[in-house]
Amino acid sequence: MGVGILGPGAIGACHARAVRAAGGRVVAVAGPKPEENAEFSAGQDIPRSYVDTDELLADDDVDAVIVAAPSPVHAALSVAALRAGKHVLCEIPAGVSLAEAELVARVAAETGRHAAMGHTLRFWAPHLEVRARVERGELRLRHIIARSLQLRQSNVGWTGRTRDWTDSVLWHHGAHLADTALWLLDATEAKVYGGCGPDWPGSGGPMDVGAVLVTPSGDMATLSLSYHSREPVSDYVLIAEDQTLHINDGRLYGPDGVIVDSAGVAATQDAAIEAQDADFLAAVAEGRTPRCTVADVLPAMRVLDALEHAS
């Protein structure tokens, strides 16, 4: 299967490695800067690069596309790829508004092409173990406390490189937390209480988000996000009536210690991206639905929309 990557950045490189690990071929990359395309193509051994996205989408050797470009263009690129007859795996988020995400889902249904989502936490080993226990009826979560706190006051990504676009604490990291919380609570809707902090001059958008979600069955999730935090925190406290679990540093902890071990966050993330991309390629080859699609994450996008409009 030939795969094209839209976006020659750090996450695009992760996907290139994951596609090869799954037996796929990365045949082309597209990005607006020829020098970045050339560097990326050479580093990832990709035979063709395009400045014009439409040229990549017209490439008959490209069967599927991974959208790894800046978040503000995710929806537009996904729609263009779907309408060009390509299957799509889009990096989180599906869009930077509910309307954008709904459009991608609608076009995927209209074209009969897959629109998989890179909500990679659904493929993390600790989260998968918790979800499996929920599905088996062994664990009934009553309250999830999820935190994503980091310092992003300057326009620098996770690799330390300066970017020419601005990230969104709500639509990017908020999508991770909202989707994971609803998925682990086995809920597709929730009442939303909370909102976003004021726009910050350094980014033009809010840097803090606080929310409480309440499902129809009364289960809850408390979400805390910040781009102002000088102490990086990313964890989940999972509270049931009979036990409390904790996901931190790529591991799942229980009352008696480690339940799911790992070599750390980076190793857990790499393994999850490989599993996610392998599932996408297999779904296309087998004619089945990927394990996580844009339609699956619309409940989380509705949560984010409610928080944006509550502020």
Task: Give residue for tokens 């392998």.
Answer: 278
Question: Looking at residue 42, which CATH number applies to its domain?
Answer: 3.40.50.720
Chosen domain end from 98, 118, 138:
118
Domain match, 84 and 202 both: no
CATH number at residue 243: 3.30.360.10
The answer, yes or no, to whether residue 157 has pLDDT greater than 70, is no
Residues 68 and 166 in one domain: no
Same domain? For 113 and 131 the reply is no
Whether the bond between 93 and the residue before it is cis, its omega within 30 degrees of 0, is: yes
User: So what's the pLDDT on residue 159?
Assistant: 62
Whole-structure pTM value? 0.94
Q: What is the pLDDT of residue 202?
A: 87
Q: How confident is the model at residue 25 (pLDDT cuts 50, 70, 90)?
A: very high
Q: Is pLDDT at 28 greater than 80 in this prediction?
A: yes
pLDDT at 190: 98
Decide which of 74, 99, 118 is a domain's last residue: 118
Indicate if 108 and 153 belong to the same structural domain: no
- Greatest Cα pair distance, the chain, in angstroms, is 57
The Cα–Cα gap between 79 and 82 comes to 5
Same domain? For 194 and 109 the reply is no
Q: Residue 12: what pLDDT? A: 96
Tens of pLDDT, residue by residue over 246-298, are: 999 999 999 999 999 999 999 999 999 999 999 999 999 999 999 999 999 99
Confidence label for 154 from pLDDT (cuts 50, 70 and 90): confident
Note whether 202 and 302 are same-domain residues.
yes
Partners of 118 in the β-ladder: 91
Query: Is residue 110 domain-shared with residue 246, that is, in the same domain?
Result: no
Nearest to 152 by CA among 173, 175, 178: 173
Q: Are residues 20 and 169 in the same domain?
A: no
Same domain, 114 and 171: no
Q: Is the pLDDT of residue 44 over 90?
A: yes
Domain that holds residue 19: 2-118
Q: Are strands 64-67 and 220-226 parallel, antiparallel or unpaired?
A: unpaired
- Each residue's pLDDT tens digit, 58-91: 999 999 999 999 999 999 999 999 999 999 999 9
**Residue 164 scores a pLDDT above 80:** no
Do 69 and 129 sit in the same domain of this protein? no
Whether residues 200 and 103 share a domain: the answer is no
> In 3D, which of 120, 70, 66, 75 has the Cα closest to residue 97?
75
Positive/negative CA dihedral, 110, 15, 101, 122: positive
Number of domains in the chain: 2
User: Do 275 and 153 belong together in one domain?
Assistant: yes
Average pLDDT, the chain: 95
**Domain C-terminal end among 61, 94, 118:** 118
